Amino acid sequence: MFFFRDMLMMLARNNKVDEANQVWRDLRSEEVLFDQHTFGDIIRAFLDNGLASKAMEIYEEMRQSPDPPISLAFRVILKGLIPFPELREQVKDDFLELFPDMIVYDPAEDLFEDQEREKDGKVDSGWSDPAL
């Protein structure tokens, strides 16, 4: 199972969606069952590489899995969904439904605005010395 997980994660990192789809179809035809940790890792790899639609397809399969849900996999996915607030809210609702006694911490609303300004060089981080 770890070989297949690693293969899917590498395909996601290299934006090889067609190849990942083929591997996923092959694994489904072989009736390979992933555990919740593996689902979380695979989904996060797709999210980290901007492939949210593929990640959410796999998420839907995770939700249908006979393996009981675990909070850690959801937390990994929720962290990867920070740049996708609408999708994050959907997964957050599922998480809170499955784990009603747990808390989800949301990032500050302006988190990404600050990061974008730093990328564009519009914010002085305080680390540069003008004398250098």
What confidence tens digit (pLDDT) does each residue in 59-96 have?
999 999 999 999 999 999 999 999 999 999 999 999 99
36 in a structural domain: yes
- Please report which confidence band the pLDDT of residue 116 belongs to, taking 50, 70 and 90 as the band edges: low
Tell me, what CATH number does 114's domain have? 1.25.40.10
Q: How many CA atoms lie less than 13 Å away from 51 in the CB half-sphere?
A: 24
What integer pLDDT is reported at residue 119 of this predicted model?
60
Whether 6 is covered by a domain: the verdict is yes
- Does the residue 129 lie in any domain? no
Task: Residue 78: give the domain boundaries.
Answer: 2-120
According to the model, what pLDDT value does residue 87 have? 95
Please report whether residue 130 resides in a domain: no
CA distances from 59 to 17, 67, 114, 127 (A): 16, 13, 29, 40
Residue 132 located in a structural domain: no
| 28-53 tens-digit pLDDT | 888 888 889 888 988 998 899 888 99
131 occurs within a structural domain = no
Number of domains making up the chain: 1
CB 113 within 8 A of CB 107: no
Q: What is the DSSP letter of 80?
A: H
Alpha-carbon torsion angle 48, 53, 57, 58, nearest 10: -10
Whether 128 maps to a domain, the answer reads no
Residue 37 lies inside a defined structural domain of this protein = yes
pLDDT for 1: 66
